[in-house]
Amino acid sequence: MQFVKQVSLIVLGLILSTFFFSCNTGNSKEKKDSMKNSASYLSDLSDKSGFETTVDGKKTDLYILKNKNGAMATFTNYGGRIVSLLVPGKNDSLMNVVCGFKSVEDYQKSTEPYYGATIGRYGNRIAKGKFSLDGKQYSLFLNNGQNTLHGGKKGFQYQVWDAVQPDSNSVVFTRISTDMEEGYPGNLKVKVTYTLNNDNGLEMEYEATTDKNTVVNLTNHAYFNLNGEGSGTILNHEVKIFANSYTPIDSTLIPTGKIEPVANTPFDFRDFHTIGSRINDDNVQLKNGKGYDINLVLDSAKNDSLHLAAKVIGDQSGIEMTIYTDQPGLQFYSGNFMAGKNMFNNGIKDDFRTAFAMETQHYPDSPNEPSFPTTVLKPGEKYHSKSVYVFSVKK
Ligand code: GLA
C-alpha cells in the first residue's frame, strides 16, 4: 500500500512539473529575454569548440580578449571576424552587443556573409565591378546585382587569416591578398589589429602595403544590437551622426557622385533621432536602400586624425556606443536584408532589422569618382586607418 502511494505521488509530481514546464516555454518573449543574457549563454561565448577546425587547409580558432573591467570580445580568424562583444550594462551585468554565430560552419552556411567580418579589399560597392588604374581597366566579380560588393565573390570575410594574440587585450590578423585575387592588382599585405582597451573601447586598426598600384578600403562589418544580441528591433535605438552631408545613391546603391546636405532629409542625424522615426518617409534614397543603407560624409572628413563620428544608444539597455574614426565616411545600414534565415549564438534568429551596422570607411565607388577622397594605394606608401567603438552606460 505504502509503495502504491509513493508511486502515485511520483507520477503526480511528474504530471505537474510537465504542466508547469510547458506553460513556461509557451511564453516565448520571456524565454528569449532569459536566454539572451543567461549566464550559460554568456559563458558559451568563450566556447572554442565550434571554431577549432580547418578551412582551405588552414587552422581556424576562437580568440578571447578581456579588459580589466571584465569586458570580453571574441574573434575568429575565419574572415577576421568579431564574434561577440560583452560590455557592462546597467548594474554592471555583461551584455553581448555584437551579433555572431557559434561556429565556423554557421558562418560558412550563413545567407548573410558579412557578420562581424573584416571587409576588403574594397569595402562597399564598385559600380558594374569595373575601375581603371593607370589606363588599365580591371573587372571584378559581380556579387550584388550589376555591382561588386565588399570585395567580390571570395572577399576577406571568407579568408582564413594568420592570427597572433600578443596579449590578453588584442589579436592581430594578417594575410597577403595576392596579385589579382578577386581581380585587384598588386600583392597586398594586410594587418588588422583588434584591441579591447580598458576604457571599454574596441579599437580597429588597419595597415596595408602593396607592390603595384591598387585600390583599398578596409572596414569591419559588425552587426550591433545595443539591447543585446537577438533582443528584437533596433528601430527604437537613438542615433546621432556627426555629418552635415551624405552621398545620394541610385537604385543599385551606387553614389551619383554628388555630395548633398542632410538638412531636411531623413539622413539628418545631427540631433538624436530613433532609427525608426523616419525610416518609412517618402524619400527616394530610403526606397533605394530599403531603409537606411547610406554613406554619411563625416564632418571631419578631411582631417585624418581620430574624430567623433556617431553615437548610438540602446533604448532598453541604456548602453551607448560612441564611434571615433579617421575615415571620411560612415555607412549606416539598418539591417534591411536580414530575414530570419540564420541563428545567432543564443539560438535567436536574425530577423528583419534586429541589428544595424556602422561601417567606418571611404565612400562607396570611390575608384570611379575622382571627386571623392582617393582610395589608391601605391608601392612605398602605407595604408593606415583606425576606428574606435567605445561603450558606456547612459544613467
Ligand atoms: C553593407 C551594404 C548593404 C548590405 C550589407 C550586408 O552594409 O551597404 O547594402 O549589403 O552590407 O548585407
So what's the pLDDT on residue 35?
Answer: 55
Residue identifier of the C-alpha nearest atom 6 of ligand 1:
114
Specify the ligand 1 atom closest to the Cα of 359. Answer: 7
Pocket residue to mutate for ligand 1, from 99, 107, 112, 114, most atoms within 8 A of Cβ: 114
Q: Which residues pair with 360 in a beta bridge?
A: 330
Q: Which of 181, 182, 203, 221 is catalytic?
A: 221
Q: Which three cell numbers, joined as nine digits, stand for 360?
A: 567606418
Specify the ligand 1 atom closest to the Cα of 125. Answer: 8
So what's the pLDDT on residue 29?
Answer: 52
Q: How far is the CA of 195 from the centre of ligand 1 (A)?
A: 25
Residue 337: CB within 6 Å of ligand 1? yes
Q: What is the pLDDT of residues 285-340, one digit of tens each?
A: 999 999 999 999 999 877 778 999 999 999 999 999 999 999 999 999 999 999 99
Inter-axis angle of helices 2-26 and 28-37, nearest 10: 90
Q: What is the pLDDT of residues 66-103, one digit of tens each?
A: 999 999 999 999 999 999 999 999 988 899 999 999 99
Cut 0.75: pTM above it: yes
So what's the pLDDT on residue 17?
Answer: 43
Nearest to 364 by CA among 313, 310, 328: 328
Q: What percent of the chain has pLDDT over 70?
A: 90
Q: Which residues pair with 122 in a beta bridge?
A: 217
Q: Is 221 a catalytic residue?
A: yes
Residue identifier of the C-alpha nearest atom 5 of ligand 1:
333
Q: How far is the CA of 151 from the centre of ligand 1 (A)?
A: 12
Average of pLDDT values for 193-210? 98
Residues in the chain: 395
Q: What is the pLDDT of residues 2-46, one digit of tens each?
A: 544 554 544 444 444 443 333 333 344 544 555 566 778 778 899
Residue 170 pLDDT exceeds 60: yes
Nearest-5° Cα angle at 289, 286 to 291:
55
Residue written as cell 588604374?
133
Residue 331: CB within 6 Å of ligand 1? yes
Q: Which three cell numbers, joined as nine digits, stand for 394?
A: 547612459
Q: Is 359 a catalytic residue?
A: yes
Residue 288: CB within 6 Å of ligand 1? no
Residue of 24 and 160 predicted with greater confidence: 160
So what's the pLDDT on residue 36?
Answer: 61
